[in-house]
C-alpha cells in the first residue's frame, strides 16, 4: 500500500511539474528607455528583469550593467540622459509624487520612497544620488543640470554633495526648459491653468521676457539653429467652465517668433481640431532641425503623422505617408532624414521606416513577424527595441545592409522559455453597427476538446494590442498572461475595440464612446460571439478580463450581457463615470458636467446591476493614481448587497500599473485560479 501511495504521489508531482507557470511566459527581461550620447559612442538602456530594474551601458563595443539594484521594489528607472561630452549619465529613480506628495512605494518599505536624480561617472563607475527631482537637462558645459521639483525650475552642480537652487521665480508651473544654441538663455513653458506662456530667461541678466503672450495654451518651445527665432505650438485657452474632453481634439497652430522681441505669427494652422492627441502621445513632439525644417505631428489627414515645413510655413509635406500611425522618430546625424516607427503596411505590428525630411520619400527598414520600436542612431548604426511572439522587448542593433539583428540585452533566466507559446492569430470581424474590429486569437490547438473562451480588453483606451510582446511593460505582461491562459486550456481574444490607436483618427475618436454611449462595448460583445462560434470553444463558458478601461468593459459585460459573459476579472476599472467626474478630476478627463452627469451614469456598469449574476474578481492597488480606489470599493459593496460572488484582491501601496513583478504574478495566478474555478 505504501508503494502505491508513493507511486500516486510521484504521479501527482509529475503532473504539477508539467503544469505551465506564469514565470515561463512573463519572466523574460524587458528593455526600454534607450539613450544615445551626443557623439554616438555610448548607449544606455534599462532592463527590467523580474522586477529588478537596472541600467546597461554599451561603449567601445562592450556591454555591461552599471547599476546593481537587486530588489523587486517597484522603483522605476527613467529619463536616461548623457552629458554633452558623454562622460556622465544621469537618470531618475522612483515615480512621480501623488496629490498627497508621496512617491510610489509598492513594496511598503518602512523607509518610504522618493523620486531622485542619480549620476553615473562613467570613467570611474562612481554612482551617487544627486538630488530629489526629475526631468534633468544638462547645461551646455555639462557641469550643471536643470531639473524639475515643484512648480519652479531648479539647478544643481553635477558634483556629489551639491545642493540645488531655484533658477528663477515665475508664476504658474514652469517646465520644458530649452537652452539657446549659445547657452546664454533658456526658453521655457509657464503653465497657468487656463493659459500658458512661453518665456525666455537670460542667465546673465537674470531677466525674463515673454514670447507673444496671448490668451492661449502655448507649449513646446524650440530654438532655431542660429538662436534668433523661437517656434512653439499654440492651442486655444480654456473658456469659462470649459472642460477638456479625452475624446475631443484641439485646434493648433505653429508659431515662429523673433527670440529677442517676441514678435511673431502663425505659419501654419490645423484645418480642424487635429491636435491634442498629436501633442502628447508621440515623441519628439516638435523639432527645429539644423537643416532649417520644422517637424511636428498632426492628425489632419486621418492618421498621426510627422509633417515637415520651412519656418515660413511653406513646402509642407507629410513625410510619413500611408495608412498607419507614427509613435516616435529620430533624426540622422545630418538631420536630412528620419527613422520612424509605425504600423503602415502591417497594421497589427510595428516596424522601422526611413524618410527624407524634405522629400518625404519613405523606404522600409525592418519587416516581418517581429515588432520594432524606438529607433536610435549611434555612429551611423541603427538600434531599436524589438519584440516577437516569444521574446519581450530587447535592444537590438540592426545592420541595414545584411538585414540582420544583433541582440544586446541580457538573456532570460531559467524560468522563462519560448516553449509553450502559441502564435497569435490575426482576426478581423464586424460589430453590429458594421465597424471593422481587429483582434488577436490565442489558442493552443494541440489541446483537444472544448475549452472556455475569454475576451481581453486593453486599457487606455488609446492602446493597441499587437501580434507579439508589447513595447509597454503593462501590456507586455498582459500579452504574457494571454499566452499563459492559452497554454492551460483557454481560447483568448485580445480585442482592439474602437477608441484605441492603430486604426486612424476616426476609429480612436469613435462617436458615443465611454460615458457618452459606450459604443465600444458592442465590439466586446462581437468578440464574445466570435469565440462562441469557434469549434474548439464551449459557447456556454465565455468570460472576460481587462484593466483600467478594460476593467470598465469587463464590468459592462457582466452587468449588461450575463447570458454571454459568465465570469470576469476586473483590474482597477472605472465603474461610475459621474463619480469620476466629481471626485477624480473636474469632468473626469471626458468633459462630463451638469446635464451630462446623468448620461455618464447611465453608461456606467453601476447604473443597472439587476442582471449581474456572474462571479467577479476585483483587483486594485490602493495607491492607484489613475482610477479612484473607491471605484472598486463602491462596486464591491453593491455586488455583495446583491449576493453576487465577489472575490477581492487588494495590493496595498501598489499603483495603477503594478510596479512589482511579484504583484503581477500574484494578480495573474489569482485570475487563473478564479477562471479555473468559475469556468472550467
Which band of pLDDT confidence, cut at 50, 70 and 90, is reported for residue 7?
Answer: very low
3-state secondary structure string, 322-359? CCCCEEEEEECCCCCEEEEEECCCCCCCCEEEEEECCC
Please tell me the predicted confidence (pLDDT) of residue 348: 98
Checking if the pLDDT of 15 tops 50, the result is no
For 372-404, write each residue's pLDDT tens digit: 999 999 999 999 999 999 999 999 999 999 999
The whole-number pLDDT of residue 413 equals 80
Region of 33 please: left (phi>0), alpha (psi -120 to 50) or beta: left
49 Cβ neighbours under 8 A, 6+ residues apart:
29, 30, 410, 413
Q: What is the pLDDT of residue 414?
A: 84
Does the pLDDT at position 411 exceed 90?
no
d(CA 296, CA 205): 33
502 lies in which domain range? 425-679
For residue 304, pLDDT beyond 60: yes
pLDDT at 11: 42
At residue 645 the predicted structure's pLDDT band, cuts being 50, 70 and 90, is: very high
Biggest distance spanned by C-alpha atoms of the chain? 96
- Joined together, the cell numbers standing for residue 109 give 518599505
Instruction: Give bridge partners of residue 210 from the DSSP assignment.
Output: 199
Bridge-based pairing of strands 646-651 and 616-621 is parallel
Residue 301 near residue 279 (C-beta atoms within 8 A): no
pLDDT value, residue 450: 97
Q: What is the CATH number of the domain that holds 648?
A: 3.40.50.1820
| Residue 239 counted as domain residue | no
Task: Round to whole Å and give the CA distance between 357 and 294.
Answer: 9
What's the rounded mean pLDDT across residues 606-633? 98
Output the CA torsion sign for 457, 461, 467, 472.
Answer: negative
- Residue 627 is classified by DSSP as S
Domain count, the chain: 1
Residue 412 binned pLDDT confidence (cut-offs 50, 70, 90): confident
The span from the CA of 376 to the CA of 536, in Å, is: 44
Residue 441 lies in a domain: yes
- List pLDDT tens digits, range 108-134: 999 999 999 999 999 999 999 999 999
* Average pLDDT of the residues of the chain: 95
Please report whether residue 475 resides in a domain.
Answer: yes
276 in any annotated domain? no
- pLDDT tens figures, 487-524: 999 999 999 999 999 999 999 999 999 999 999 999 99
∠ CA(149), CA(155), CA(160), 5° rounding? 100
pLDDT the model gives residue 18: 67
C-alpha–C-alpha distance, residues 212 and 218, integer Å: 9
Euclidean distance between CA atoms 477 and 184, whole angstroms: 46
- Domain membership of residue 492 (yes or no) is yes
pLDDT of 415: 86
pLDDT band at 601 (very low <50, low <70, confident <90, very high): very high
C-alpha cell at 393: 522587448
CA atoms within 13 A on the CB side of 635: 37
As a 3-state breakdown, the chain gives helix, strand, coil percent values, each rounded to 5, of: 20, 35, 45
Q: What H or E segment, with its residue span, contains residue 13?
A: helix 2-18
For residue 8, the model assigns a pLDDT of 42
What CA–CA distance (Å, rounded) separates 461 from 549?
6
pLDDT surpasses 50 at 662: yes
- What's the pLDDT at 135? 98
Residues 626 and 552 sit within 8 Å (Cβ to Cβ): no
The SS3 assignment for 219 reads strand
**For 440-459, what is each residue's pLDDT tens digit?**
999 999 999 999 999 999 99
For the segment 272-290, what is each residue's pLDDT rounded down to a tens digit? 999 999 999 999 999 999 9
> What is the C-alpha to C-alpha distance for residues 412 and 680, in angstroms, rounded to an integer?
32
Nearest Cα neighbor of 77 from 98, 48, 113, 97 is: 48
Cβ-proximal residues to 283 (8 Å cutoff; 6+ apart), any chain: 327, 328
| pLDDT at residue 205, rounded to an integer | 98
Q: What separation in angstroms does the CA of 195 have from each of 172, 209, 220, 606?
A: 10, 17, 14, 36
Of 336, 377, 280, which Cα lies nearest the Cα of 38?
377
Helix (H, G, I), strand (E, B) or coil at 35: strand
Is 486 a member of any domain?
Answer: yes
Task: Determine the pLDDT at residue 13.
Answer: 44
Mean pLDDT value of segment 595-612: 96
Residues 295 and 317: their CA atoms lie apart, in Å, by 10
> What pLDDT does residue 289 have?
98
Nine-digit cell string for 299: 492628425
Describe the strand order of the beta sheet including 436-442 as a list of residue ranges: 425-430, 436-442, 491-496, 451-457, 537-547, 565-571, 616-621, 646-651
**What cell does 341 get?**
516607427
pLDDT at res. 539: 98
Q: Which sign does the torsion angle of CA 315, 319, 323, 325 carry?
A: negative
Residue 661, domain member (yes or no): yes
The answer to the question of residue 503 being in a domain is yes
Separation CA 578–CA 580 (nearest Å): 5
Order of strands, edge to edge, in the sheet holding 229-236? 216-223, 229-236, 253-258, 264-269
pLDDT tens-digit series, residues 474-489: 999 999 999 999 999 9
pLDDT of residue 546: 98
User: Which residues are CB-contacts of 657 (< 8 A; sequence separation ≥ 6)?
Assistant: 473, 474, 626
Using alpha carbons, list the distances in angstroms from residue 62 to 41, 52, 86, 409: 11, 22, 16, 12
Amino acid at each position: 500500500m505504501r508503494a502505491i501511495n508513493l507511486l500516486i504521489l510521484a504521479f501527482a508531482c509529475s503532473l504539477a511539474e508539467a503544469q505551465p507557470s506564469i514565470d515561463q511566459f512573463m519572466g523574460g527581461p524587458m528593455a526600454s528607455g534607450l539613450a544615445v550620447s551626443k557623439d554616438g559612442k555610448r548607449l544606455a538602456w534599462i532592463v527590467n528583469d523580474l522586477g529588478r530594474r537596472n541600467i546597461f551601458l554599451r561603449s567601445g563595443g562592450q556591454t555591461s550593467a552599471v547599476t546593481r539594484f537587486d530588489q523587486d521594489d517597484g522603483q522605476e528607472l527613467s529619463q536616461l540622459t548623457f552629458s554633452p561630452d558623454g562622460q556622465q549619465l544621469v537618470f531618475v529613480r522612483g515615480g512621480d509624487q501623488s496629490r498627497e506628495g508621496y512617491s510610489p512605494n509598492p513594496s511598503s518599505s518602512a523607509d518610504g520612497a522618493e523620486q531622485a536624480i542619480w549620476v553615473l561617472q562613467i570613467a570611474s563607475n562612481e554612482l551617487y544620488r544627486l538630488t530629489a527631482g526629475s526631468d534633468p537637462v544638462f547645461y551646455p558645459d555639462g557641469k550643471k543640470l536643470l531639473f524639475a521639483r515643484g512648480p519652479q525650475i531648479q539647478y544643481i552642480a553635477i558634483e556629489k554633495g551639491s545642493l540645488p537652487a531655484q533658477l528663477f521665480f515665475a508664476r504658474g508651473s514652469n517646465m520644458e526648459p530649452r537652452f539657446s544654441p549659445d547657452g546664454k538663455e533658456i526658453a521655457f513653458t509657464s503653465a497657468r491653468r487656463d493659459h500658458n506662456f512661453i518665456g525666455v530667461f537670460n542667465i546673465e541678466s537674470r531677466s525674463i521676457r515673454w514670447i507673444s503672450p496671448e490668451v492661449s495654451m502655448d507649449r513646446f518651445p524650440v530654438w532655431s539653429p542660429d538662436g534668433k527665432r523661437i517656434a512653439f505650438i499654440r492651442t486655444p485657452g480654456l473658456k469659462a467652465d470649459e472642460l477638456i474632453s479625452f475624446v475631443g481634439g484641439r485646434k493648433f497652430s505653429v508659431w515662429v517668433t523673433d527670440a529677442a522681441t517676441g514678435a511673431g505669427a502663425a505659419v501654419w494652422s490645423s484645418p480642424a481640431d487635429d491636435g491634442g492627441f498629436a501633442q502628447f502621445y508621440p515623441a519628439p513632439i516638435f523639432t527645429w532641425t539644423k537643416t532649417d525644417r520644422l517637424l511636428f505631428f498632426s492628425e489632419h489627414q486621418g492618421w498621426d503623422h510627422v509633417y515637415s515645413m520651412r519656418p515660413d510655413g511653406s513646402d509642407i509635406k507629410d513625410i510619413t505617408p500611408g495608412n498607419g500611425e507614427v509613435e516616435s522618430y529620430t533624426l540622422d546625424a545630418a538631420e536630412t532624414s528620419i527613422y520612424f516607427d509605425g504600423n503602415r503596411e502591417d497594421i497589427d505590428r510595428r516596424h522601422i521606416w526611413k524618410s527624407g525630411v524634405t522629400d518625404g520619400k519613405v523606404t522600409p527598414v525592418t519587416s516581418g513577424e517581429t515588432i520594432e520600436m524606438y529607433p536610435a542612431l549611434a555612429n551611423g548604426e541603427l538600434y531599436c527595441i524589438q519584440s516577437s511572439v516569444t521574446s519581450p522587448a530587447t535592444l537590438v542593433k540592426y545592420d541595414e545592409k545584411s538585414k540582420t539583428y544583433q541582440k544586446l540585452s541580457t538573456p532570460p533566466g531559467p524560468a522563462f522559455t519560448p516553449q509553450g507559446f502559441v502564435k497569435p492569430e490575426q482576426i478581423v470581424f464586424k460589430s453590429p453597427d458594421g465597424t471593422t474590429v481587429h483582434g488577436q486569437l490565442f489558442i493552443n490547438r494541440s489541446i483537444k476538446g472544448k475549452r472556455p473562451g475569454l475576451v481581453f480588453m486593453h486599457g487606455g483606451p488609446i492602446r493597441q494590442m499587437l501580434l507579439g510582446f508589447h513595447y509597454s511593460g503593462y501590456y507586455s505582461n498582459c500579452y504574457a498572461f494571454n499566452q499563459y491562459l492559452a497554454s492551460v486550456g483557454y481560447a483568448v481574444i485580445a480585442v482592439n475595440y474602437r477608441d484605441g490607436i492603430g486604426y486612424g483618427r476616426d476609429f480612436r475618436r469613435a462617436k458615443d464612446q465611454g460615458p457618452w454611449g459606450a459604443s465600444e462595448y458592442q465590439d466586446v460583445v462581437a468578440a464574445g460571439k466570435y469565440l462562441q462560434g469557434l469549434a474548439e470553444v464551449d459557447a456556454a463558458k465565455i468570460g472576460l478580463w481587462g484593466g483600467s478601461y478594460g476593467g470598465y468593459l469587463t464590468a459592462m459585460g457582466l452587468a449588461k450581457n450575463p447570458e454571454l459573459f459568465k465570469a470576469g476579472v476586473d483590474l482597477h476599472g472605472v465603474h461610475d463615470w459621474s463619480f469620476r467626474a466629481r471626485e477624480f478630476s473636474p469632468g473626469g478627463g471626458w468633459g462630463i458636467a451638469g446635464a451630462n452627469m446623468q448620461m455618464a451614469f447611465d453608461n456606467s456598469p453601476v447604473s443597472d446591476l439587476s442582471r449581474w449574476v456572474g462571479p467577479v474578481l476585483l483587483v486594485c492597488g490602493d495607491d492607484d493614481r489613475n482610477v479612484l480606489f473607491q471605484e472598486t470599493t463602491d462596486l464591491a459593496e453593491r455586488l455583495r448587497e446583491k449576493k453576487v460572488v465577489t472575490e477581492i484582491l487588494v495590493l496595498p501601496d501598489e499603483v495603477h500599473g503594478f510596479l512589482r513583478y511579484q504583484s503581477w504574478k500574484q494578480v495573474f495566478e489569482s485570475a487563473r485560479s478564479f477562471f479555473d474555478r468559475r469556468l472550467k
